Structure 1
Amino acid sequence: MLIKTLLRLFIISTTTLVSCGKQNEKPNIVFIAVDDLRTDLGCYNNPVVQSPNLDKLAATGFLFKNHFVNVPTCGASRHCLLTGMRPTTKAHLGNDITQHVLSNQPETDIPETFIHQLKRNGYHTVGIGKISHSADGLLYGYTEQPSNKRELPYSWDELIFNPGKWRTGWNAFFGYANGENRQSLNRQVKPYEKGKVSDTGYVDGLTTQLAIDKLKELKKNTKPFFLSVGLFKPHLPFTAPEKYWDLYNRDAIPITDNPAIPQNVNPQSLHNSHELNGYKLGEEKPALNQPASDGYTKQLKHAYYACISYTDHLIGSIIDEIKALGLDDNTIIVVWGDHGWHLGDQQVWGKHTIFENALKSTLIIKVPNSKQTKPITSIVETVDIYPTLMALCNVDTKHPIDGESFINLLNNNNSSSQDDVAYSYFKNGISLRTERYRLTKYFRKAEPTIELYDHDTDPLESINIASKHPGIVNKLMPVLEKGNTGLYK
């Protein structure tokens, strides 16, 4: 504990190496959380996806090539982000964990989130859209009317949202262009839609308008601000305005390079794509015993890519407004995907595995006046974002958290080392990612319970080699066990 404390103090003392704008002013933060955004962007070397705005942000900021979430499901991943803590109970793997452990608690000396921490240190905090698990920050069920109770009761100075024609945040989250939604239509819907609408024909366009209007207000504020914008797409249903679909030639969209179930793996490590198949009018029902056809794969990927391009355009509008208002010289911009997504990879559609496709997600950070040119290849975890932002803002974190600041990477652009690791948790398992290997241990009866993938020779995680390399497993297992925070004891 003493070593970690000294390291944290050293990290904070070195923040001046990264310039955050005007001297003696704390930087503003615009944090954009994007649902289900895997690393399918031009800046991550996808030659098909049209993402010019995020590519430009990555070229002038810090692109993290190996960012891994701690839990591959929305609410639990966001809880790790907000608290800087890895899961310690099975309840921490559920989407409703924030509601259970934060929403109904009295305020204490320990801040409920890093946003609360910023608020206590002079920041004006504004939330728009999905930041924790709730679509609009309020507590209510998918088919219920919104309550007045906040999911995060102490983090926000302002919590705003415009549900538009969908009337509630959850309706908008699962909404279609005609104002209906998955719930109102009893799931008798397709998992995609090419909408003959403008950007504001879906709710993310309305959220972007709110963000731009709020930036104009915050420009006049004397306090530094934290503005968080939660965009829904490319979460299911894959709905986007027609013009973003038209950016793509479906025939040119490739299917995945790893469409088969990995060798030497029990099917319990995967799943039957229940989330996708919950959209009852989908033309096919892919499963582990029935892969999607090439045609349907291309159709779904086309829809997902259209959603990415829609989101990219909206993020570009926010960035343009930051520049137009002259805020760019003192504003940190973060774009974070809350987890990855299997697009037919390993015969799975969706998140909810502890394979690379579900765990690796987008992370781009733009620090004012930084001179970054090379992507950062070191491994970082979602829990590390909390202390890094506190270090950039010169806010001391006195309570213990699991995350460790990676501000040294922003200062020095360090390359990967064997000491870089990330822990992820789901499906009764723990997965450890090192520079070269992914080692996964499942706490179940179905064998095999140990999986090992060599990313030097098998970056697609297509062959479990654990039985052939017991020496590597034995060397890495003590490191993996350090990440067993009581979850499977």
Structure 2
Amino acid sequence: MSFLKRFLVGVCLILTTGLCAKENMNVLFIAIDDLNDWIGPMGGNPQVKTPHLDKFANFSIVMNKAYCPATVCGPSRSSLLTGRHCHNTGVYGNSNNLKKASKTKDLETLPEYFGNRGYHTLTTGKIFHKHMTSEGMDEGHWAFHEVGKTKGSAGGMLWKKQATHPDHKYGGSPIQWGATKAPLEKTKDYMNAKWAAEQFERDFDGKPFFMALGISRPHLPFFVPQKYFDMYPLDKVKPAPVKLDDYDDIVDSNGKAFFKGPDATWLAVDKSNAHTELNRAYMASVTYADDCLGVVFDALAKSQYADNTIVMLWGDHGWYLGEKLKYRKTGLWEEAARVPFMVRVPGVNEGVKSDGVINLIDMYPTLIDLCGLPENSNNDGRSFAKLIANPKMTWNTPTLSTMGHMNHALTDGRYRYISYKKGVQELYDHNSDPMEYNNLANNPEYAEIIAKFKKQLPKNNEPESPRNTMEKKKNKASKKI
């Protein structure tokens, strides 16, 4: 696209408040598994090195207050890909397959929507949450025209026979980390990124493309090449802050503590004095993922598609590194619900940050808007194309995150309100308490604020859809709250 055409597309988007592009734009849709705000553009942890994301931020809008629809992989991805919230579908956990749920099995997913309207759709890596079925592993490949198969491993053999710490198995994948023998170029995420980069050399028979790339790290296990651990000398790493009495003010109507204490993984890591090592391993995995992303960013910038490709880069939910006396995901606090989100529309407000409150479920209607496709009336989310055109505008309608049946959180960018099905509530003011240490829910001064949030909780909560009985590991996260 010439500079003049690029300029005109940008002007069109701004003048029409971001409603559509004049020509079919390509879409690069990048998912990063278990990535929290520990990246340079979001400043969640200044120790972490993400030079490629830092550079990409100069050509995109960093959505500083983006949230996930659910705080665990399966329901978050199912929601954003179908455009429907958990409470409307019953897909609350990793064992709920959207293709087996009555409320989602016939919905047109985001890639299908584009594929059915003239786009060539292709993918590699994790986009949908995978499920074992009688026909084999369902990875959501049915939603795309083309699937890239790469030969990379998750990391290859470790330099040591076992991981470098006790293997803590509590409620999910083992907490493992260690340096791999495999060089960067032989690892799975790198090879998936390389495959995606190579697609920019293709001609798609005149069709626009919708390409989805999934990056697995920093999902467990934290197995990455040694050079990434070397970037973070252990004696220099400062672990995430911890407040040992953090749960004391989260009580029911009788004043009884709602949480018994730190979660099992936190206790196990604490017992082995491994907090610093685990934080370091996560940092190493984030920097590894950043290097993989750099391959894609560089290839796109040099390609024929540089100026007519919309990029949406997102993490599927947050991740605790000891904050709130937790590790992993789940729960409804800020650390689990806030996600990295960056969007690039060529020529439109590049290199800025927005504090507009958005949800990953909003990506579906927004991409439709930006690409000039017909509205999908099934979408629960709302397009934020207007926010892309004017990133500084007020955009603070409370957005929803869910964890299990009837457990919800709402945030308007300042306050976070949490409501559990057992009647317990939490309220935090991020202006004065960004780490959410001081629960205001039982303070009568905030009764009016709580009342406003309560009116916006879902009125209907679908029962949980059938669990996949073929899963080797059942998701127990939703039972914890």
Q: TM-score range by the shorter chain?
A: 0.7 to 0.9
Aligned partners of 2:388, 2:162: CA distance in 1, in Å? 42
Aligned partners of 2:150, 2:102: CA distance in 1, in Å? 24
Task: Classify the secondary structure of the residue corresponding to 1:397.
Answer: coil
8 Å CA contact retained: 1:354, 1:425:
yes
Aligned partners of 2:139, 2:274: CA distance in 1, in Å? 40
Task: Classify the secondary structure of the residue corresponding to 2:355.
Answer: coil
Aligned partners of 1:368, 1:14: CA distance in 2, in Å? 12
Question: What is the CA deviation profile of residues 400-455 of structure 1, one whole-angstrom value per residue up to 9, with x for unaligned ones?
Answer: 321011111111112445x421111115411111232111111116xxx0111111
Task: Classify the secondary structure of the residue corresponding to 1:472.
Answer: helix
Question: TM-score when scaled to structure 1?
Answer: 0.80
Aligned partners of 1:202, 1:370: CA distance in 2, in Å? 35
Pairwise mapping of residues 161-310 of structure 1 onto structure 2 (< 5 A)? 161-164=149-152, 172=154, 191-217=176-202, 219-260=203-244, 261-266=246-251, 268=258, 273=263, 277=265, 286-287=266-267, 292=270, 296-310=274-288
Structure 2 counterpart of 1:168: none
Matched, 1:34 2:26: no
CA pair 152-484 structure 1, distance change in 2 beyond 3 A = farther
Structure 1 counterpart of 2:360: 382
Structure 2 counterpart of 1:280: none
8 Å CA contact retained: 1:443, 1:488:
no
Equivalent in 430, 433, 437 of residue 462 of structure 1: 437
Identity, in percent, stands at: 26
8 Å CA contact retained: 2:23, 2:371:
no
Structure 2 counterpart of 1:347: 325
Equivalent in 143, 148, 151 of residue 140 of structure 2: 151
8 Å CA contact retained: 1:88, 1:485:
no
Amino acid at match of 1:265: I
More helix by share: 1
Structure 1 counterpart of 2:132: 140
Question: What is the CA deviation profile of residues 46-79 of structure 1, one whole-angstrom value per residue up to 9, with x for unaligned ones?
Answer: 3211101111111221001110101000011011
Question: What is the CA deviation profile of residues 14-47 of structure 1, one whole-angstrom value per residue up to 9, with x for unaligned ones?
Answer: 7354899x98531111111000000101111232
Aligned partners of 1:234, 1:247: CA distance in 2, in Å? 16
CA pair 220-338 structure 1, distance change in 2 beyond 3 A = same
Question: What is the CA deviation profile of residues 449-474 of structure 1, one whole-angstrom value per residue up to 9, with x for unaligned ones?
Answer: 011111111110012121113x5234
Structure 2 counterpart of 1:420: 397
Matched, 1:75 2:59: no
Aligned partners of 1:221, 1:268: CA distance in 2, in Å? 58
Which has the larger displacement, 294-303 or 46-55?
294-303
Aligned partners of 1:200, 1:273: CA distance in 2, in Å? 37
Matched, 1:126 2:125: no
Aligned partners of 2:17, 2:206: CA distance in 1, in Å? 20
8 Å CA contact retained: 1:103, 1:151:
no
Aligned partners of 1:294, 1:415: CA distance in 2, in Å? 48
CA pair 239-150 structure 1, distance change in 2 beyond 3 A = closer
Aligned partners of 1:305, 1:27: CA distance in 2, in Å? 34
CA pair 190-376 structure 1, distance change in 2 beyond 3 A = closer
Matched, 1:395 2:373: yes
8 Å CA contact retained: 1:212, 1:321:
yes
Amino acid at match of 1:41: I
Gaps of 5+ in 2: 1-10, 252-256, 464-481
8 Å CA contact retained: 1:269, 1:353:
no
Gaps of 5+ in 1: 1-12, 166-171, 278-285
Structure 2 counterpart of 1:160: 148
Structure 1 counterpart of 2:450: 476
Structure 1 counterpart of 2:254: none
8 Å CA contact retained: 2:98, 2:104:
no
Aligned partners of 2:32, 2:443: CA distance in 1, in Å? 39
